[in-house]
Amino acid sequence: MYSDALTYATNNPNVSNIALTGPYGSGKSSIIKTFLTRYERPVLQISLAAFLPEADGSVATTEARHSQRGTVSKQEIERSILQQMLYGADANSLPLSRFKRIQSPRWSSRFISLFIVAGLIACWRLLQNSTEISSGAFFKPRDLTNWFNLLTFAIGLFFLWQLLHYIYVKSFGVSLKSISLRDIEITPETAAEESILNRHLDEIVYFFQSTKYDLVVIEDLDRFNNPDIFVTLREINSLINANAGVKRQIRFLYALRDNMFVNTDRTKFFEFIVPVIPIINSSNSIDKVIEQGERLSLDKRLDRQFLREVSRYLNDLRLIQNIFNEYAVYLANLETDGENILDANKLLSILIYKNVLPSDFEELHREKGKLAEILRRHDDYVANAEATYKAKIYELERNISDAEKQLPAHLEELRKIYAMTLLDRAPPGYTMIEFKGVRIDAMHIIGNHQQFDELIEAPEIVFRSLQGHVQRVNISDLQKEVNSEKTYQERKTEIFHKSGESKDAAALAVRDLRGTISALRTTKFNEIIRSDAKGTQELFEAFGENRELVKFLVFEGFLDDSYYQYTSLFHSGRLSPNDNKYLIQIRSFNNPAPDFQIDNPNEVIAAMREDDFRQPFALNKTLVDCMFSDPHAYGPRIEQLIAYISSNFSKCDTFFSIYYERGKRVTELTSALTSRWPGFVSAAISSPDSASHIARIMAHLPEKDISSLDQKASGISGYVATNLSQILALGIDFQPSRLALLQFELKDMRSLGDYPAVARLVADEGLYELSIENLEFVFRDVYGLTTIRDLRAKHYTTLLRTENPDLVNKIERDFDLYLKNILLQSSTNTEEDVLAIIEVINHDEIESKYLEQFIAKQSAKLHSLDQVPVRLHAVMFRHRKIEASWENCLAYLASENFDPMTLTAYLDHEESLAILSSAAVANQDSALPLHQFLLNNGDFGDNAYRTYIRALPRQFKQFPSGLSLDKLQILIEEGKITFSDASFGFLKENEDLQVLYIANNIDRYLADKGKFAFDDDFRQKLLIANISDDRKLQIIADMDLTSLASLPNRAPAIGQIFHRAGADLGDLSAEVAQALIRHSKPIATQISLFNKCQKALSDEEIWATLNQLPKPFSEIEPGWKQPTIPTTPENRELVEWLESRSIISSSKPTFFTDEIRIYNRRKKA
């Protein structure tokens, strides 16, 4: 069909420029070849493919390549066209061409050369006979006898004519282009700028005039992306066809791609366009690929799916044919032994790469180029993959840690719900809960109390007010009130399970990731590089338009680091160049680097001497991998290797650093070193790279061997305890649980802040030293508990409240250290709860002095001695860390550790006094020892003694001996001694106490006063005692009042009593009455007694009594005086009876003062 179209176009007189258009690889060249087989006229073929600048198609994209090729100048393209046109014809057919070429001698050249010789001889002879010629003698005679001269002249003349004709003809091809003077060349400027085709247009026209070509086929001109050249060629075609010297029509046939011209421009250049439908593209290339496989009988070994996928990147039939041709050749040469051990798909991939990127394939042999760069970064890809997986592990471990931290918060929240419901049932004013003998501050600690779970399950609870009132409340239905479907314990279990499921899933993912990391070194190259696809994007971009093909081949594992097996011949028992180079170096005693590339380690080991394995030569990554992959076969060599390492460990640092990173048998190597060299671990600890060695040991050594490391190197536990963070900082991943196999105690938990999984394990296993900082880190950062303030104020209480068995067990295992290093060292740890204090003091293994220090620091007080060890009873009272109650005092009195001075000091304290002053001492017989202690304790302060004596519920029969007078006085005042003559007699040494004793028991005395023999002096003291006046009147009745005149000190007391009691003194004698009036004080009492005794006095006795009173009463006497006295009831009564007895004349109130004016008589009546 295409040939027919072209035939039609070449026979059409109106068509001079024909275009055969189609994309690259569409078969345009094949169509032209087919057409030319049917075209019978001469054809000139011009192809610019060979003229393309050398470039690797892998370098740039299509656009970039077009841009690069477009940089070729138009003159260079035209020069190539002109050269192919002119040099395509025979040189002899273009004798007038200015382009001189080497011409091949024709068959007539011998005769021509003979003619030239003859002509030259003839000319030479004519020159010799020039004189005869000029005279004409040379031509005589003009007959045959002179034939030689005539022939010579004829030949010479003909020769000269031919010479001049040749020179004339050749002058047509001569043009002056430049003048060259030694090193200087002068060239017209237009010669460098004008079109070469236009400059040599006459040559082109001459070419077609001199040749029979009528069709010019031009291929690959579109590759330069320069449409201007088509304008020139069309112009030349028009000029040729218009030239009269060209008797036939000349047609140009162009093979070019569809997008060479924009829009409709191509219809302006070409009279006839033949479009070519591609016979192969990315969608049907699979058929051609399979066809080539069948053609060479190769399809059985090739994976059909691989062929289908790779064919999408191949759309050039010639390329596909060449790939499979090379495949057959390579396969025949690489599998000469008949064993099909090579991967046919990989071989085909290599050859696809070779044909698509030939330059890069060539550089691959020298381990250079873009693909070599990708393969060379294998270790980087592994490191990146490890980093990625480790980051995921870190994230998962952080999630596990966070989930575990959430659990206490959720549990605390659940407790608060139930606690608030419980508090709602508390009666108003009842803020304490009493449960199992322990009082709990309901408002503050109920939700976090250790016994909360038991308390919430109790059917009944006791609430207590601050005043000591008690009320029982039924809470059996409390759980149903909160949640009618589930109990508190069921909801608590759900919280634990929920967190556990999440943690288990994350832990499983962590284990899988760790397994993946350990297998990275043995993972296929394509799997490794796929994990870092983003990081390799830039490397693949270097392949330009072929990057997707290379990515497919690499990512699918068809191009990897085993390429050398498919690019060079190899036979069993032979060494690769790298292997040979290695052996040459060690024979020259040059030590190759530990990572020197060895391709066939088995062959290299076989070629090495036995002594070589006692040298540093054996420290090669590939050789060690090979030996430990088959320890039975290479057992002796392994022994030699370990012997060398043990003797030269300090020189092996480079090897270990490389092998630890890239080696595939690290587990086998570390196990062998540990088992066969007892000093390996100790040497590793002492080395500069100790952290790296220990990390690898922990990561790769079997667990049973890790457990026994302490026996082989006692320092490893101490090393890990000090340097664990440095080991982890290396990023060498291993199961944190392996650390638990070592018995160490980490110095600083804060160093694990970036390693939550390890921190959790160390915390759970208790592998850390007990210190304030470590426990705070565990509490806050590992378990996610936020009550750090509580931890610092009540450390042990807060830890117990976490209900974390690992944390509590750690404390209990080393409680002695915990107490000394934390509880006693912390200056702020003063608010431990009662239950926590009880837990601490019941550690029998702790010395009492340390427990006493702990007790002294705490502010809380124990409710009772019930849970306090006997040895600490005195301590509790000495530091007042027991609640003040008579029950506790009585319990202490019964203790084997009782110390009276301690209890005395405790009770004598103002705090104890304030509490116990309002509490009554029990009246049971069992409390009698306490009664006796309080009664007989003379060491109390007076205030304390009075308080406690007052609190005693009963009296005592006799005074205790040995008490001070003050204490005896207190006993009397508080009425704690029964009234008896014996008790009275006990006080005989102190009459004041006897008076007080009688006064305090006055009724009993008055009822049975016959038993006591008192004198009036004793009774006088009773009169000033704290006794009621009616009882004092009874005492006065037993006194002899006649002696008052001689005892002025006694009268005031009696007078005061008579005055207050309003006693009837009518029976008193005048003498007694005068004595009482005269000696009593104050004046109001005197006037009152005077009023009551006036009937017993005569007028003279009255005048005498008035005279003894102070002024103004003494001025009441006969005369002119008019004294004034204050207006009081007593004075008004006095004035009244004085007037009635005519002692005074009269009286009246004053006008301006509250007084009574008395008018005396002039004389006595």
Return the domain boundaries, the chain. 2-92+195-275, 110-174, 286-377+542-555, 389-513, 745-860, 884-977
Among 62-66, 101-105, 577-581, 644-648, where is mean pLDDT lowest? 62-66
Among 52-56, 690-694, 1042-1046, where is mean pLDDT lowest? 52-56
Cβ neighbours around 572 below 10 Å, total: 9
Q: What is the chain's Cα-based Rg? A: 66
Angle between helices 378-424 and 653-662 (to 10 degrees): 70
How does pLDDT run across 516-549, given as a tens digit for each residue?
A: 776 776 677 778 787 777 777 878 888 888 888 8
Question: Dihedrals φ, ψ of 463, to 5°?
Answer: -100, 140
Q: Give the pLDDT band of residue 800 (cuts 50, 70, 90).
A: confident
* 984 vs 88, more confident: 984
pLDDT of residue 106: 66
pTM of the shown model = 0.54
Angle between helices 942-951 and 900-908 (to 10 degrees): 90
Burial of 855 (0-12, 13-18, 19+ CB in 10 A): buried
* The one-letter amino acid at 588: S
How does pLDDT run across 387-416, given as a tens digit for each residue?
A: 787 788 878 777 766 655 555 556 777 777
> In a 3-state reduction of DSSP, which class is residue 1149?
strand
Q: Give the pLDDT band of residue 895 (cuts 50, 70, 90).
A: very high
Please name every residue paired with 215 in a beta bridge, in sequence order, or none if there are none.
43, 251
What is the rounded (10 degree) CA torsion for 206, 209, 210, 212? 140
- What lies within 8 Å, CB to CB, of 367 at 6+ separation is 376
Where b means 16+ CB within 10 Å and e means fewer, 98-125 reads beeeeeeeeeeeeeeeeeeebbeebbeb
d(CA 992, CA 1026): 12
798 touches 822 (CB < 8 A): no
d(CA 375, CA 538): 14
- What lies within 8 Å, CB to CB, of 785 at 6+ separation is 405, 408, 779, 791, 798, 802
Q: Pick from 517-521, 861-865, 1036-1040 the range whose average pLDDT is largest.
A: 861-865
d(CA 1076, CA 1067): 13
Burial of 807 (0-12, 13-18, 19+ CB in 10 A): buried
Average pLDDT over residues 269-284: 75
pLDDT of residue 64: 40
- C-alpha 392: how far from its chain's center? 11
d(CA 955, CA 931): 10
pLDDT of residue 868: 92
Cβ neighbours around 1041 below 10 Å, total: 20
* Peptide bond between residue 141 and the one before it cis (omega within 30 degrees of 0): yes
Question: Dihedrals φ, ψ of 470, to 5°?
Answer: -120, 140
Closest CA to 858 of 827, 886, 889, 822: 827
> In a 3-state reduction of DSSP, which class is residue 474?
strand
pLDDT of residue 237: 87
Asked if pLDDT for residue 833 goes beyond 70, the answer is yes
Cβ neighbours around 909 below 10 Å, total: 14
pLDDT of residue 180: 47
d(CA 761, CA 749): 11
Among 345-359, 552-566, 883-897, where is mean pLDDT lowest? 552-566
Asked if pLDDT for residue 726 goes beyond 70, the answer is yes
Closest CA to 796 of 751, 859, 749, 839: 839
313-317 LR contacts (CB < 8 Å, sep 24+) = 313/282, 313/546, 313/548, 313/549, 313/552, 314/282, 314/285, 314/289, 314/352, 315/25, 315/278, 315/280, 315/281, 315/282, 315/285, 316/24, 316/25, 316/280, 317/25, 317/27, 317/279, 317/280, 317/288
pLDDT of residue 190: 46
How does pLDDT run across 226-237, given as a tens digit for each residue?
A: 777 888 888 888
pLDDT of residue 60: 38
Q: What's the token pair of residue 625?
A: 């991998």
pLDDT of residue 279: 66
Average pLDDT over residues 1084-1097: 80
Asked if pLDDT for residue 877 goes beyond 90, the answer is yes
How does pLDDT run across 683-723, given as a tens digit for each residue?
A: 999 898 888 888 888 888 888 888 888 777 778 888 998 99
Q: Provide the 8-state DSSP code for 174.
A: -
Query: Which CATH fold topology does 2-92+195-275 show?
Result: Rossmann fold (3.40.50)
What is the rounded (10 degree) CA torsion for 851, 853, 856, 857? -110
Q: What's the token pair of residue 808?
A: 């509590």
d(CA 630, CA 1017): 125
pLDDT of residue 68: 44
Please name every residue paired with 180 in a beta bridge, in sequence order, or none if there are none.
185
